[in-house]
């Protein structure tokens, strides 16, 4: 196996691991929310925690957090896109059910596949679009959207989150060569004031002692976020946005499966069928990527 194929394989594995970590994060955040800890509160402190951890790691390892002039723009764009994902997604659920917001949000793998030929040298591939549509159908069945009482504001915000996630993947690919620590640090420097502004607007600022209401859930939430975010950056440094976006379709499947085990939520036949569709789409994506690389002359 050549270096490029090995890097792509590792990238897909990292993307799947990131999706699993974020899926765990969703379930634990739900538990924390039931204990009275709001989403904006969790977001603000997780950003602050990430900055402390990355700064401490850089100090301990004597690593530089400096960005060269050519690295600043893509890292800032990545931070802005990441902040917008959180803002729009958290805001959308104030107007539409979470399931509806999730289905609209997970159009981003389709948008990535459509935008990739326009923003990168990658040619349009109908097979990848078909896989993205199959995965989206599976996600819609897994999440089971409630279509009653739809508010256009919520739909618009969820779609803004989808567009922002699309931008986030391309921005991450542009700063693939930037070292992980400075990329983590400066992107979260951009995210922090946005997260604080949301928290102040919602009036939900609480001291860290509030996390004692659900310490295990908070620990899992932050651990899942930190692990998922780091793995996402590592994945996008190795594979293109298209296959990476498709791999992240596994996230809601992981979340629903974990919720079924941890929260004893019952799954219906449509959810099982949707999960099977997503898994089939992901398997097809892996086969397509492997076949494509095998066809490229060494």
Tokens read off for 173:
């690919």
- The chain-wide mean pLDDT, for the chain, equals 88
Closest by Cα among 253, 229, 171 to 43? 229
Question: What does 117-175 look like in DSSP terms, one character per residue?
Answer: HHHSSPPP-HHHHHHHHHHHHHHHHHH----SS--HHHHHHHHHHHHHHHHHHHHHHHT
pLDDT of residue 87: 80
Buried b (16+ CB within 10 A) or exposed e, 35-62: eebbbbbbbbbbbbebbeebeeebeeee
Domain count within the chain: 1
pLDDT of residue 297: 55
Q: Dihedral through CA 158, CA 113, CA 70, CA 79, nearest 10?
A: 20
Indicate the pTM of the whole model.
Answer: 0.87
Q: Which domain holds residue 126?
A: 3-295
pLDDT reading at 103 higher than 90: no
Q: What are phi and psi of 67, to 5 degrees?
A: -105, 140
- Asked whether the beta carbons of 282 and 247 are under 8 A apart, the reply is yes
Closest by Cα among 175, 233, 60, 83 to 52? 60
CA dist 163 and 84 (Å) reads 9
- Asked whether the beta carbons of 61 and 182 are under 8 A apart, the reply is no
Q: pLDDT per residue over 18-40, tens digit each?
A: 999 988 887 888 788 888 888 88
pLDDT reading at 97 higher than 80: no
Q: pLDDT per residue over 168-183, tens digit each?
A: 999 998 998 899 999 9
pLDDT of residue 229: 94
pLDDT reading at 125 higher than 80: yes
Position with higher pLDDT, 62 vs 296: 62
- Asked whether the beta carbons of 120 and 169 are under 8 A apart, the reply is no
């Amino acid at each position: 196996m050549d270096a490029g194929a090995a890097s792509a394989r590792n990238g897909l594995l990292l993307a799947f691991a990131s999706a699993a970590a974020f899926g765990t994060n969703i379930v634990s955040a739900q538990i924390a929310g039931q204990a009275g800890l709001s989403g904006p509160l969790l977001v603000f402190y997780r950003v602050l925690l990430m900055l402390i951890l990355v700064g401490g790691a850089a100090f301990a390892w004597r690593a530089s957090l400096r960005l060269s002039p050519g690295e600043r723009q893509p890292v800032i764009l990545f931070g802005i896109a990441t902040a917008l994902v959180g803002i729009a997604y958290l805001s959308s659920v104030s107007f539409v059910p979470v399931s509806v917001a999730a289905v609209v949000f997970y159009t981003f793998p389709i948008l990535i596949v459509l935008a990739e030929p326009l923003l990168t040298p990658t040619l349009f591939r109908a097979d990848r679009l078909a896989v993205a549509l199959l995965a989206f159908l599976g996600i819609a069945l897994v999440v089971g959207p409630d279509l009653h009482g739809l508010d256009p504001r919520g739909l618009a915000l969820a779609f803004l989150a989808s567009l922002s996630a699309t931008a986030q993947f391309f921005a991450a690919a542009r700063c693939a060569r930037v070292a992980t620590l400075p990329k983590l640090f400066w992107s979260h420097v951009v995210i922090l004031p946005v997260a604080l502004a949301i928290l102040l607007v919602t009036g939900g600022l609480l001291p860290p002692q509030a996390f004692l209401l659900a310490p295990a859930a908070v620990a899992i939430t932050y651990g899942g976020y930190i692990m998922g975010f780091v793995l996402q950056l590592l994945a996008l440094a190795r594979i293109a946005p298209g296959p990476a976006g498709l791999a992240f379709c596994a996230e809601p499947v992981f979340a629903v499966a974990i919720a079924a085990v941890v929260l004893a939520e019952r799954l219906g036949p449509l959810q099982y069928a949707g999960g099977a569709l997503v898994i089939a789409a992901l398997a097809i994506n892996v086969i397509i990527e492997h076949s494509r690389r095998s066809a490229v002359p060494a």
